[in-house]
A and B are shown apart, each in its own frame.
Chain A
Amino acid sequence: NAGVTQTPKFQVLKTGQSMTLQCAQDMNHNSMYWYRQDPGMGLRLIYYSASEGTTDKGEVPNGYNVSRLNKREFSLRLESAAPSQTSVYFCASSPGLGLTGELFFGEGSRLTVL
């Protein structure tokens, strides 16, 4: 049982390049989330999808786009990467429609933008 799987785990980009972080969950969860974690800042919500077919902005959505491809998959795209987007990105899912607070996290994706 894989839980929440993120790819890639590590990525180095140059400023202006684009990339997509992939996330898939096999727990039949309704809601999925993308967070970023920076030192001293805790986890900050970028985008979330309360259910298949819906997406909403979180606390720090600028510079990102998301796609809820189906119930299992939720991708995060950086169209033109900037050094300020250097961070660890976590995808998470939860079983409820909307937030229950019980999040299951992927292992994280470490992104460096030069």
Chain B
Amino acid sequence: QKEVEQNSGPLSVPEGAIASLNCTYSDRGSQSFFWYRQYSGKSPELIMSIYSNGDKEDGRFTAQLNKASQYVSLLIRDSQPSDSATYLCAVAGGTSYGKLTFGQGTILTVHP
């Protein structure tokens, strides 16, 4: 089992819809959770971080964390074509202290 798993997609949603991206992790001691966005041919950039159970909202983005289920998600409301990218889930803490472990990423396509 991979430490951090994501559905590789591609996930295709129409413009204006809600895109839901999911991630599961295996290390129950993990403490910090992140979502990075990576445009094609570019480097990843941090868009959200979450540390405690529940929801965290930032503009059109909402991160959700459920430590009991070892599950973290990212919701993108009012999706725009400019949101088309690969979204990488990353987890830190637990037995991987000092390192950030990434999932393989989910490709999101928002079509007009």
Contacts and interface: CB of A to CB of B under 8 A. Distances in A.
Interface of A: 33, 35, 40-45, 48, 50, 56, 58-59, 90, 98-103, 105-108
Contacts, number: 60
11 contacts: A43-B88, A43-B90, A45-B100, A48-B98, A59-B101, A99-B97, A101-B34, A101-B92, A102-B34, A102-B49, A103-B36
Given A42-B88, A101-B34, A101-B49, A108 B99 contact: no
Contacts of A41: 104
Given A40-B8, A43-B44, A108-B43, A103 B100 contact: yes
Interface string B16-50: 00000000000000001110100000111110010
A99 B99 contact: yes
A99 B46 CA distance: 14
Given A42-B4, A99-B100, A102-B46, 10 more contacts: A43-B102, A50-B98, A56-B98, A58-B99, A98-B98, A100-B32, A101-B49, A102-B34, A106-B43, A108-B43
Interface residues of B, number: 24
A105 B90 contact: no
B65 to A, nearest CB: 13
Given A48-B98, A99-B97, A99-B98, A107 B43 contact: yes
Interface in B68-112: 88, 90, 92, 97-105
B50 to A, nearest CB: 10
A105 B102 contact: no
A35 B42 CA distance: 14
A76 to B, nearest CB: 16
Contacts of A48: 98-99
B98 A90 contact: no
